[in-house]
Structure 1
Amino acid sequence: MKNSKIKNKTALITGAASGLGFEFSILLAKDFYNLILVDIDKANLQTAKKIIQRSYNIKIKVLVKDLSKVNIAQEIFDEIKSVSIDVLINNAGFGLFGPFVQTSWQKESNMLNLHVMATTQMTKLFLIGMVQRRSGKILNVSSVAAFEPGPLMSIYYASKAYILSFSEAIANELQGTGVTLTTLCPGPTKTKFQEVVANSSSKNEIRINMASAKDVAKIGYKAMLAGKEIIIPGLLNKVIAFLPRLMSRNKVTSIVRKIQEKNRATQLIFNNS
């Protein structure tokens, strides 16, 4: 019964070439969703498609898109507007390490376009049809970083906080519509994200244990199917998210600063995708 209900449904996943995005795609394929995989990495995107298609008899479309481009969400929507999207997973993201006065504004503006503008517009464009059909699920990937100010990764932390706040508000608005929006807030996760951040740090070393992308994706996927509004995988991450309720914001900010200065490339304690 489950298979027949889902067979003709379609899911769109951003950042699908690797890491969490790829693991979400596998989970959706197992549930017989047709897939639209979006990523800037053409080679890995094609590889992901081949891997999934070898095991699952579903339709897969790949879109090679730079999600940091202005108005990219509209471009994607227009390209696939004949397809009803039943599940949307806004997963794509990247980070940048360093003092704000020294980091690249071009990279930071790209990050803001991706985390804020693209995530918001993708949600809006595909949500309209879901509400009209009174059916659909959205998963926006934020981070446990959303709960803290983040010295040395200020734009990343702030943009992930935006995703959380925005998603919580829309999830509330969607009550009674048949559509749900879930926000996933992972802590350290083994994905390509760590490579991007480490490359902007003065040291390339990993000193903390990170959750696997597969495990984090399973937790987020299960929460999305259940219609939960927020999910934070792992007890330590829940504690980290709760810290601002126990301490002053100044104290929490100081703690985050010390962690990032100590770990350098391992500031991933609050990062995910």
Structure 2
Amino acid sequence: MTRYALITGASSGIGLALAEALARRGRSLILVARQRDQLESIAIELTQRFGVDVLFRACDLGEPLRLSGFLLELEEGERQIDLLVNCAGIGSSGPFLAQDWMTEQDLMEVNILALTRLCHAVGNSMALQGGGQILNVASVAAFQPGPWMSTYYASKAYVLHFSEGLREELKTCGIQVSVLCPGPTRTAFFGSAQMDTAKLDRSQQLMSAEEVALYTVRALEKNKAIIIPGRRNRWLAFSPRLSPRWLTRKIAGAVNKAYCSR
């Protein structure tokens, strides 16, 4: 029976790059994102280029009823998923009190609740079939508080700690859990989070989504617990341990405020 890698947030950025990297290795895919037209063209292209089976499902993970419907389809279907990649994510920047509440709620629905629910549903299926692998996408932001992006940073801290906890819990079920913590990456994330993309585009520190994906799939093959692509990003993740919390907050806040577009 063909087994599939299920990837959320697969229409662009790191999710799309991971889909291509896995297809290149002969993996069959189920791609999930909000944009149906983009998913369809991506599925056709990956099938033609790599000769793998690529399915897709347009689903807004921020809407619990639609997510429930999608999970029901998976449960009633016959396709086995042996790799779950939770890459869908939303960002926001600027003063917390100035944010539209529905945007903040959507962020938490996608970054936290949908990810957790997918781990629960697909994890149970994996346990029944004897094992599998889960990759949750967090960020180097997970290692510290982030003023002017407070909700986003906190959501990624949840993903990091949740994934590490699951890794220990699910070992006995034959399920390997890893968490990807990329640094700043050249994707559409910054524009959607209302950050100053002109400043970011001039930065020489950003990795490409393809670089992140290549590093990640190699780390997954080695069953790495925490995956941080790039030496500079590994330093960014480690450095908060060396500074007092008040200084970490101030530095992160100053950096984030400088890139806010409002």
Q: Which runs of 5 or more residues in structure 1 are unaligned?
A: 1-6, 266-273
For residue 251 of structure 1, report the CA deviation from its aligned partner. 0.6
- For 1:1-273, list aligned pairs within 5 A: 8-81=2-75, 82=77, 83-197=79-193, 200-201=194-195, 204-206=198-200, 207-209=202-204, 210-264=206-260
- Separation in 1, partners of 2:183, 2:252: 13
Cα RMSD of the aligned pairs, angstroms, is 1.6
For residue 203 of structure 1, report the CA deviation from its aligned partner. 7.1
Q: TM-score, normalised by structure 1?
A: 0.89
Which deviates the most, 158-167 or 33-42?
A: 33-42
For residue 23 of structure 1, report the CA deviation from its aligned partner. 1.3
- For the 8 Å contact 2:133–2:175, the answer to whether it is kept is yes
Q: Secondary structure at the match of 1:86?
A: strand
Letter in 2 for 1:229: A
Give the match for residue 270 of structure 1. Answer: none
- Separation in 1, partners of 2:131, 2:49: 28
For residue 190 of structure 1, report the CA deviation from its aligned partner. 1.0
- For the 8 Å contact 1:36–1:63, the answer to whether it is kept is yes
For residue 183 of structure 1, report the CA deviation from its aligned partner. 0.1
- Separation in 1, partners of 2:187, 2:73: 28
- For the 8 Å contact 2:59–2:67, the answer to whether it is kept is no
Q: Which runs of 5 or more residues in structure 2 are unaligned?
A: none
- Separation in 1, partners of 2:82, 2:65: 22
Q: Secondary structure at the match of 1:78?
A: helix
- Quick one: percent identity of the two aligned structures? 35
Runs (4 or more) in structure 1 with deviation over 6 Å come to none
- For the 8 Å contact 1:138–1:224, the answer to whether it is kept is no
Letter in 2 for 1:174: L
- For the 8 Å contact 1:18–1:48, the answer to whether it is kept is no
For residue 85 of structure 1, report the CA deviation from its aligned partner. 0.7
Q: What whole-Å deviation, never above 9, does each CA across 1:51-94 have from its counterpart, x for those lacking one?
A: 21121222221111111112544322211222211111000112
- Separation in 2, partners of 1:71, 1:121: 12
Q: Secondary structure at the match of 1:165?
A: helix
Q: TM-score, normalised by structure 2?
A: 0.93
- Separation in 2, partners of 1:42, 1:194: 22
- Separation in 1, partners of 2:118, 2:65: 10
For residue 204 of structure 1, report the CA deviation from its aligned partner. 4.4
Which deviates the most, 171-180 or 202-211?
A: 202-211
Which deviates the most, 69-78 or 125-134?
A: 69-78
Q: What whole-Å deviation, never above 9, does each CA across 1:197-220 have from its counterpart, x for those lacking one?
A: 2xx247743232310101101111
- Separation in 2, partners of 1:164, 1:73: 22
Distance 1:112 1:179, change over 3 A: same
Which deviates the most, 23-32 or 142-151?
A: 23-32
For residue 146 of structure 1, report the CA deviation from its aligned partner. 0.3
- Separation in 2, partners of 1:54, 1:228: 31
- For the 8 Å contact 1:71–1:118, the answer to whether it is kept is no
Aligned length: 257
Q: Secondary structure at the match of 1:35?
A: strand
